[in-house]
Structure 1
Amino acid sequence: MSIAEVTSRISQIKAQLALLSGPVAATGSSGAAFAGALQDATAPPTARITAGTGGVGDQVVANARKYLGVPYVWGGTDPATGLDCSGLVQQVYSELGYDLPRVSYQQAQAGRPVASLAEAQPGDLVAFNSPVNHIGIYIGDNQMIHAPRPGKDVEISPVYATPSAIRRIVPDAPAAGALGSIGAIGTTAPGRVAAGTPYASLFDGAAARHGVSAALLSAVAKQESGYDPRATSPAGAQGLMQLMPGTAQGLGVTNAYDPAQAVDGAARLLKSLLDRFGSTDLALAAYNAGPGAVLKYDGIPPYAETQNYVTSVLSTLEAAA
């Protein structure tokens, strides 16, 4: 750990002690936290993802809610034993393929700035003090999820002070009314799969909900599993869309062998990758090899499997067009 990181940690401890006299959390008891986590975990995936703005930020919030009730542990990065504030942030974002720094002051420099809390969207990072020594995940309505201090659990509480930094890591959420237009476009625009395609109604439905080409979803399913919802790869990828268990969990997919859940989860994942990388070929590369590999090589990774995967899916799309 560098001197700067040690200094940040010392400042963080001081801030946590100062918070002892701070406002009471909105979800103060561990029982209430567990109830909230249980409610979120058992809700249908579409309800958990589309409850707010409908963007990737809501996926961040849904992931963060899973850790309500996890105890604060200074330096903690393992949800099984405890998390500190930056450990929580890093864990939540890693499940969606975002590689954030470990400590709060570095996380408060990631992504892009948001001018004020009035412009903040669910999933944004809210950081406190200068130098930054505490950080949380904004969920809307002046509330955040954070790991507050020793003796407390990960909880939902008010944003107790004006943040010293607000950072947006994920793509912007759709503007008001945008989800409706996405749905209308998704049901009629080119890219709808041909009649007779296996699971055509699932692809068309997911395209309408999430603004991803149905033809792209179909091409990915064909490449991944040959439209076999029972497929399991040697690496452990599961189902029609070949989701890895950790990826499926992060997307709220409880059964990757259920075609409806798999297609909906894959649509949300592809939408986030398209928004993040800005092109279909890079999104496909990230779907196959992971976002980290695309970032590492600043393009399609030099892996034969990934390059063949991208070429094959794009060829299927061209043939469908």
Structure 2
Amino acid sequence: MSGIGGKVVVLAESWIGTPYRHQGAAKGIGCDCIGLIRGIWRELYGGEPEAVPAYAPDWAERSGEDRLVDAARRLFGEPVPMGEAQPGDLLLFRWRPDCAAKHVGILAEPEHFIHAYEQTAVTRSALVPSWRRRIAAVHRFPAIGRD
């Protein structure tokens, strides 16, 4: 694995074991799924992707907007087809088809992804059918220089 995807996977793996903390974004101290992506972004590009306003645990249910999908398009560009997903790609998940996307992770290999999961820590999980069918979008991290 090389290029940007390989770098993203290595960085995501370095976060494994970080405790779950709502709105956190600090490796080894605490993060939620959005904080994991923010931390990887900082390590890749040197700064926050954009200011993240405070959000409640039920933010996706209350807003009526698909803010996670909108942010992914702004920062990562248009989604790629699931059939073209590669290690290091960002995975967005919806709990139900009629709800906003509310969870994100990093594809580590075709059958596993890394994510910060509530009541646990950053972990590598099997991309079993119950997770796979909830994928709302796949995005690729922007290249760095010659990646």
The verdict on a shared fold, with TM-score over 0.5 as the criterion, is yes
Task: Please say if 1:153 is aligned against 2:121.
Answer: yes
Distance change in 2, residues 1:59/1:127 (3 Å): same
1:56 positional shift = 1.4
Aligned Cα root-mean-square deviation (Å): 2.1
Match of 1:137 in 2: 106
TM-score (norm 2): 0.73
Give the counterpart of 1:170 among 135, 138, 142: 142
Aligned with 1:72: secondary structure? coil
* Unaligned ranges ≥5, structure 2: 54-66
Share of identical aligned residues, percent? 30
Runs of 4+ in 1 over 4 A off after TM superposition: none
* Unaligned ranges ≥5, structure 1: 1-51, 172-271, 276-321
Aligned with 1:113: secondary structure? coil
Give the counterpart of 2:86 among 105, 121, 128: 121
More strand by share: 2
Match of 1:108 in 2: 72
Match of 1:177 in 2: none
Cα distance between partner residues in 2 of 1:88 and 1:138 = 13
Cα distance between partner residues in 2 of 1:134 and 1:167 = 13
- Write out aligned runs for 1:128-277 (5 A): 128-129=93-94, 130-149=99-118, 151-159=119-127, 160-162=131-133, 163-171=135-143, 272-275=144-147
Check the 8 A contact 1:72/1:148 in 2, yes or no.
yes
More helix by share: 1
Cα distance between partner residues in 2 of 1:119 and 1:91 = 25
Distance change in 2, residues 1:111/1:126 (3 Å): same
Distance change in 2, residues 1:142/1:100 (3 Å): farther
Cα distance between partner residues in 2 of 1:124 and 1:107 = 15
1:116 positional shift = 2.7
Work out which of the two has the higher radius of gyration on C-alpha atoms and give 1 or 2.
1
1:86 positional shift = 0.4
Q: How many residues of Structure 1 are paired with residues of Structure 2 in the alignment?
A: 122
TM-score (norm 1): 0.35
Task: Please say if 1:64 is aligned against 2:32.
Answer: no
Higher RCO (CA < 8 A, seq sep 6+): 2
